Amino acid sequence: MLTELRITDFAIIDQLELTPGEGLLVFTGETGAGKSIIMDALDMLLGGKTDQSDIRQEAELARVEATFHLSPPEQEPVNEILKREEALDDPDCVTLSPQVGREGRRTAR
């Protein structure tokens, strides 16, 4: 379950932090309010295509960071991979953080 979402310098978003609760999460708002940009940031988080046009005009890189709480069925296989990669910090959570820079280089942590 998504427990935290942070978006920095993505499109027109300077900085956004969301802490969704349990259950259904719905984004509503006026046209141009940024709903689609949040969805584009989630797409970047999940490996979707990104490039320099996703970086806010005044910034050098765009970053999306999300923390997911792992329920017991997911913990074992995910923690196995993270242990193998020496990246296990918290067995109950995993944090993903892709970023794209002005030179087009994309990294993910």
pLDDT at 14 over 90: yes
pLDDT at 60 over 90: yes
Six-digit token pair at 53? Answer: 């046009």
Question: Up-side HSE of residue 14: CA atoms within 13 Å toward CB?
Answer: 1
The whole-model pTM stands at 0.86
Reported as a pLDDT band with limits 50, 70 and 90, residue 87 is confident
Reported as a pLDDT band with limits 50, 70 and 90, residue 16 is very high
Q: Give the chain's mean pLDDT.
A: 91
pLDDT at 59 over 90: yes
Handedness of CA 89, 93, 94, 99 (dihedral sign): negative
Q: Tell me the per-residue pLDDT of 89-100, one tens digit each, with 9 for 90 and over.
A: 888 999 999 999
> Closest Cα partner for 75 from 91, 89, 90?
91
- Using alpha carbons only, give the angle 88, 89, 90 rounded to the nearest 5 degrees: 105
What share of the chain has pLDDT > 70, as a percent?
100
Residue pair 62/40 in contact (Cβ under 8 Å)? The answer is: no
